[in-house]
C-alpha cells in the first residue's frame, strides 16, 4: 500500500514537473465586461449596407456571446506561450487594428517578417495574410497563435487545457457554445466571429456616398476623381469595391523591387505578388506595404507616380498601355509582358494632384470605428 502511494506521488510529481510552458498560468487579470453583451449582431446590417459579399460560413454565424468571447480571446495575452502577447498587441484599435512599426514584435521580442495588416470588413474576404496562405478566417486566426515568433503556442493542443485553467473562460464558452468544453475549433470560431463583427462604414466617404459628396472639399473631390478613373491615377484598377481591396484573393506585383528578398505569394516562376489590402482607415495604418517600407501616404503616392520598378512580373495595370479594365486577376509568366509596353507607367502627377489623392484617402477614416467600445481591450 505504501509502495503504491509512493508510485502515485512520484507520478503526480512528474506530471506537474513536466508540464510544458504552454500551460503555464501564473497571475492574470480578469476582463471587465458589461453585464449585458454588446450588440455585435447588428453589425451584419451595417455590413450589408456596403454591398460587399458576406463570406461568413453557415457553420459559424455571428452571435453576441460568440463575439464577446472572441473579444476576450483577441486581447488575452494568455493565448501566447509566455503570457506576454495577444492578438491586440499587433493590432491596435487606434491604428484601425494595424501595428505601430514596420514589422511586429513577438512574444520573446523577436521581429516578424511582415507588416501587420489592418482589420475592417473582413467578412468579405476569402484569402488572408500578405501571401494569401489562409483560405478561411477560422484557419487564419489560429496561425499567429501557433507561430514561433508571434505568440509561440506551437503545441496548440495545449491551448484548450491552458484556457480551462482560467476562471473566466468556462462561463464565456458556455454562453457562446452551450458547453464549458474548450476546443481549438471553438477558439478559432469565437475569434473569427469577433473579427467579422468589425465593420467600418461610417467615414466621411460613406457620408459622401449618401449626399453626392457635397461634404467633400475641392481637393478631396479631385483626389477621388484621380483615384477612381482609369485614365487618371487609376488606383481603382486594383483598389475597387467598397472596401477598396478589389476582388477577394487578389494579389499584385507593384514594382517595389527588381529582385524581391521576400518572394510573396508562392507562385511557380514568379515573385513579388502580395495581397492587395483594403484601404479603409488607410491614413491610420502606416507604415505601408508588406515590409512597412513607406512611412507616409505621400511616399506611397510618390512610388506609384514615378517609382515603380520595371520588374519582369510587374502587374499589367502598372504598365504603360496596361491601364484598362479587365474583370479578374491576371498572373503573367516571367519574361516580356504581353499587356502594355513592358515599361512602368509614369503618372506625372502635379504636387497638387498628389496632395489631392492623399486628401481623398484620409476621407476613408472611420473615427467611430476606432473608438467603438465593443472592439476595445477589456483587460
Task: Identify whether the C-beta of residue 189 lies closer than 8 Å to the C-beta of residue 117.
Answer: no
Q: Which residues make beta-bridge pairs with 275?
A: 251
Residue 179 has pLDDT above 90, yes or no: yes
pLDDT at residue 143, rounded to an integer: 98
Domain of 247 in residue numbering reads as 204-363
In a domain, 3, yes or no: no
Residue 292 falls in which region: left (phi positive, over 0), alpha (psi -120 to 50) or beta: left
- Asked whether residue 173 falls in the same domain as residue 211, the answer is no
Residue 274 located in a structural domain:
yes
Say what the pLDDT of residue 323 is: 56
Separation between Cα atoms, residue 350 and residue 301, nearest integer Å: 11
Q: Is residue 235 domain-shared with residue 344, that is, in the same domain?
A: yes
Question: What are the φ and ψ backbone dihedral angles of 51, each rounded to 5 degrees?
Answer: 70, 20
Beta pairing partners, 264: 273
What percent of the chain stands above pLDDT 70? 88
- pLDDT score of 247: 74
- 155 and 78 fall within a common domain: yes
Q: Is there a domain that residue 36 lies in?
A: no
**Residues 187 and 209 grouped into a single domain:** no
Handedness of CA 26, 94, 100, 148 (dihedral sign): positive
Q: How far is CA 374 from CA 64, 92, 146, 192, in A?
A: 10, 14, 26, 15
pLDDT digits (tens, 9 = 90+) for 211-254: 999 999 999 999 999 999 988 999 999 999 999 998 767 899 99
Same domain for 69 and 193, yes or no, is: yes
Q: Does the pLDDT value for residue 13 go beyond 50? A: no
Would you say residue 375 has pLDDT above 90? yes
Residue 1: what pLDDT? 42
CA 146 remoteness from chain centre: 17
- Tell me which of 167, 199, 231 is where a domain ends: 199
Last residue of a domain, one of 199, 224, 246: 199
pLDDT of residue 135: 94
Nearest to 344 by CA among 277, 266, 253: 253
Residue 8: pLDDT above 50?
A: no
Integer Cα distance of 193 and 168 in angstroms: 19
Residue 70 lies in a domain: yes
Q: What is the pLDDT at residue 279?
A: 98
Residues 114 and 180 in one domain: yes
* pLDDT tier for residue 338 given thresholds of 50, 70 and 90: low
Q: Based on the domain organization, do 190 and 208 belong to the same domain?
A: no
Domain final position from 154, 177, 199: 199
- Nearest Cα to 164, choosing from 176, 147, 181? 181
Q: Number of H helices and number of E strands within the chain?
A: 12, 2
Same domain, 84 and 191: yes
In 76-220, the DSSP E strands lie at none
Does 25 have pLDDT greater than 90?
no
Q: What is the mean pLDDT of the chain?
A: 91
Domain count, the chain: 2
Residue matched to cell numbers 481549438 = 184
Q: Are residues 176 and 251 in the same domain?
A: no
Instruction: Classify residue 119: in a domain, yes or no.
Output: yes
- Assess if residue 290 is contained within a domain: yes
Above 90 in pLDDT, residue 115? yes
Check residue 321 and give its pLDDT. 79
Q: What is the pLDDT of residue 163?
A: 98
Q: Is residue 25 a part of any domain in this protein?
A: no
Q: What is the dihedral of CA 352, 354, 360, 362, to 10 degrees?
A: -110
Could you tell me if residue 15 is inside a domain? no
98: domain CATH number is 1.10.760.10
Kindly state whether residues 111 and 239 are assigned to the same domain. Answer: no
277 within 8 A of 251, measured Cβ to Cβ: no
- pLDDT tens string 66-78: 999 999 999 999 9
Among 205-214, 262-271, 294-303, 348-357, the range scoring the smallest mean pLDDT is: 262-271
Residues 338 and 285 reside in one and the same domain: yes
pLDDT of 15 higher than 70: no
Q: Provide the 3-class DSSP secondary structure of residue 322.
A: coil
| Residue 134 backbone phi and psi in degrees, to 5 | -110, 130
Q: pLDDT at residue 275 above 80? A: yes
pLDDT at 65 over 70: yes
88 and 111: one domain? yes
Amino acid at each position: 500500500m505504501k509502495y503504491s502511494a509512493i508510485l502515485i506521488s512520484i507520478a503526480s510529481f512528474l506530471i506537474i514537473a513536466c508540464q510544458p510552458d504552454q500551460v503555464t498560468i501564473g497571475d492574470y487579470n480578469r476582463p471587465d465586461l458589461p453585464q449585458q453583451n454588446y450588440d455585435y449582431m447588428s453589425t451584419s446590417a451595417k455590413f450589408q449596407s456596403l454591398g460587399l459579399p458576406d463570406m461568413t460560413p453557415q457553420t459559424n454565424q455571428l452571435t453576441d456571446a460568440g463575439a464577446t468571447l472572441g473579444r476576450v480571446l483577441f486581447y488575452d495575452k494568455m493565448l501566447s506561450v509566455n503570457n506576454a502577447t495577444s492578438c491586440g498587441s499587433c493590432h491596435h484599435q487606434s491604428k484601425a487594428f494595424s501595428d505601430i512599426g514596420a514589422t511586429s514584435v513577438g512574444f520573446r521580442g523577436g521581429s516578424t517578417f511582415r507588416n501587420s495588416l489592418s482589420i475592417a470588413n473582413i467578412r468579405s474576404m476569402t484569402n488572408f495574410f500578405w501571401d494569401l496562405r489562409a483560405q478561411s478566417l477560422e484557419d487564419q486566426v489560429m496561425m499567429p497563435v501557433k507561430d514561433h515568433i508571434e505568440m509561440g503556442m506551437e503545441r496548440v493542443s495545449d491551448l484548450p487545457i491552458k484556457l480551462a485553467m482560467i476562471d473566466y473562460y468556462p462561463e464565456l464558452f458556455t454562453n457562446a457554445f452551450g458547453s464549458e468544453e474548450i476546443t481549438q475549433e471553438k477558439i478559432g470560431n469565437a475569434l473569427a466571429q469577433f473579427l467579422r463583427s468589425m465593420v467600418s462604414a461610417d467615414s466621411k466617404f460613406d457620408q459622401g456616398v449618401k449626399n453626392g459628396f457635397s461634404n467633400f472639399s475641392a481637393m478631396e473631390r479631385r483626389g477621388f476623381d484621380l483615384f477612381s478613373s482609369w485614365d487618371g491615377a487609376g488606383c481603382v484598377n486594383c483598389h475597387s469595391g467598397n472596401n477598396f481591396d478589389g476582388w477577394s484573393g487578389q494579389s499584385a506585383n507593384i514594382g517595389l523591387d527588381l529582385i524581391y528578398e521576400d518572394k510573396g505569394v508562392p507562385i511557380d516562376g514568379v515573385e513579388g505578388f502580395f495581397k492587395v489590402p483594403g484601404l479603409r482607415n488607410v491614413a491610420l495604418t502606416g507604415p505601408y506595404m508588406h515590409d512597412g517600407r513607406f512611412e507616409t501616404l505621400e511616399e506611397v503616392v510618390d512610388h506609384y507616380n514615378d517609382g515603380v520598378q520595371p520588374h519582369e512580373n510587374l502587374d499589367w495595370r502598372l504598365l504603360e498601355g496596361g491601364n484598362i479594365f479587365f474583370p479578374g486577376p491576371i498572373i503573367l509568366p516571367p519574361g516580356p509582358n504581353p499587356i502594355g509596353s513592358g515599361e512602368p507607367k509614369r503618372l506625372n502627377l502635379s504636387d497638387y494632384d498628389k496632395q489631392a489623392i492623399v486628401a481623398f484617402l484620409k476621407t476613408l477614416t472611420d473615427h467611430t470605428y476606432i473608438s467603438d467600445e465593443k472592439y476595445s481591450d477589456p483587460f
